[in-house]
């Protein structure tokens, strides 16, 4: 599944999917779901999760500054706090949108 259109509308990211469905994802939810190693941690060769200390997110962390498509498989948000390392595959983006 691929997004045909992505637009920020207020505090949400609106996604129109190629199957005709639409999703509206709160920017705070999207930021908290960031899949990068800095946010979610990394698994070592033994399967153990290593995660840095929890960081408090400022209001700027939820301000979407830019959204870049990466190839034909992902988007990369740039947030107001300077965070840009999260790549959201389209499949993962859809799962985030559908999560309650």
Fold classification of 3-98 is NE0471 N-terminal domain-like (3.30.2020)
Helix-then-strand count for the chain, H and E: 3, 8
How confident is the model at residue 73, as a pLDDT? Answer: 97
* 55 — pLDDT class (breaks 50, 70, 90): confident
Question: Which residue in this structure is represented by tokens 């992505």?
Answer: 6
How confident is the model at residue 6, as a pLDDT? Answer: 97
* 76 — pLDDT class (breaks 50, 70, 90): very high
For the chain, how far is it from start to end, CA to CA, in angstroms? Answer: 20
Pair 78, 68: CB distance under 8 Å: yes
Tell me the pLDDT tens digit for each residue of 19-53: 999 999 999 999 999 999 999 999 999 999 998 88
* 54 — pLDDT class (breaks 50, 70, 90): confident
What are the residue ranges spanned by the domains of the chain? 3-98
């Amino acid at each position: 599944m691929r997004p045909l259109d992505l637009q920020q509308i207020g505090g949400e990211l609106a996604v129109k999917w190629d199957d005709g469905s639409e999703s509206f994802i709160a920017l705070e939810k999207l930021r908290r779901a960031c899949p990068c190693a800095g946010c979610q941690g990394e698994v070592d060769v033994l399967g153990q999760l290593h995660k840095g200390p929890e960081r408090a997110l400022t209001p700027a962390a939820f301000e979407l500054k830019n959204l870049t498509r990466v190839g034909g498989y992902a988007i990369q948000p740039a947030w107001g706090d300077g965070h840009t390392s999260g790549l959201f595959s389209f499949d993962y983006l859809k799962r985030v949108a559908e999560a309650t």
